[in-house]
Amino acid sequence: MTAPPGRLAGRVALITGATGGIGLATAELFAREDAQLVVTDIDSAAVEALTERLRADDADVIGAELDVSSAEQWARVIESTRRRFGGLDILINVAGVVDWAGVEAAEQESWDRVIAVNQTGTWLGMKTAMPLLRASGAASIVNTSSVLGLIGSGGAAAYHASKGAVRLLTKTAAVEYATRGIRVNSVHPGVIATPMIQGILDEQGDQQPDIVRTPMRRAGLASEIASAMLFLASAESSYVTGAELVVDGGLTAH
């Protein structure tokens, strides 16, 4: 008996930050759901390894090195996508970096890098991919913000600023393209066990302050964020645009 097609069959999806944490879980899930994939990351060796592994599982995938803060690299990746697949239906902006310093402690070099990757990189991805996405007629963009794009923590000034910007950039793009065949939504993860914070989780365990404040009293899994990405990328969310999908175990509920 032939298995039914996946939820993303016939759809081309580009994922940034695809080799670690949320991006990796999303790439693996989208491959299982039969998407044609473009996986990107700044680490070219990791991209090559992921591409080979997904191909071994019969995924239709290409990989590309991408520093999301570079307009030139974005242009190359989008052109490679057009040549290989003929178009693009889904853009998943995951790539991000963090600096935990507060307002006074933050150094401008670190501030500029966080803004360049998290905020400018998200904008560049949408801007560069938009011609292909408009041609799709039924495209979806999912931008990764954070609960720290919704609430303050008293630190991580650049990260908060960038993720708050991603939230409103998403909303204005959703309004701009609502009648042009492109939905744009943001996902707001809470405390997720990814390489970005794994050292903190290992050190503090279930006494990590944000876990203590999370009603579900645990860190989330990257796969749980990937499932939210899949919903927003698929036709199941066809009337959802400009939305904030918060996946945080209840952290922002109180």
Mean pLDDT of 41-58: 98
pTM: 0.96
What integer pLDDT is reported at residue 206 of this predicted model?
73
What are the strands of the beta sheet with 139-144, ordered from one edge? Answer: 61-65, 36-41, 12-15, 90-93, 139-144, 182-189, 244-247
**Model confidence pLDDT, tens digit, residues 109-158:** 999 999 999 999 999 999 999 999 999 999 999 999 999 999 999 999 99
Residue 198 lies in a domain: no
At 186 the three-state DSSP class reads strand
Q: Structural domain tally of the chain?
A: 1
Strand stretches in the chain, DSSP E: 12-15, 36-41, 61-65, 90-93, 139-144, 182-189, 244-247
Type of residue at 198: Q
Residue 253 lies in a domain: no
Band (pLDDT 50/70/90 cuts) for residue 85 is very high
Percent of the chain with pLDDT over 70: 99
What integer pLDDT is reported at residue 3 of this predicted model?
78
Least confident of 19-33, 57-71, 201-215: 201-215
- Catalytic residues, which ones? 159
Residue 197 lies in a domain: no
What integer pLDDT is reported at residue 1 of this predicted model?
63
Residue 232 lies in a domain: yes
Residue 68 lies in a domain: yes
Q: Domain limits at 86? A: 12-190+223-247
**Model confidence pLDDT, tens digit, residues 151-170:** 999 999 999 999 999 999 99
Mean pLDDT of the chain: 96
Give me the helix-helix angle, 121-136 and 71-85, nearest 10°.
Answer: 30
Residue 160 lies in a domain: yes
Residue 67 lies in a domain: yes
CATH number at residue 55: 3.40.50.720
CA distance 96 to 15: 12
Residue 2 lies in a domain: no
Question: What's the chain's Rg over C-alpha atoms?
Answer: 17
Structure tokens at 136: 């799709």
What integer pLDDT is reported at residue 11 of this predicted model?
98
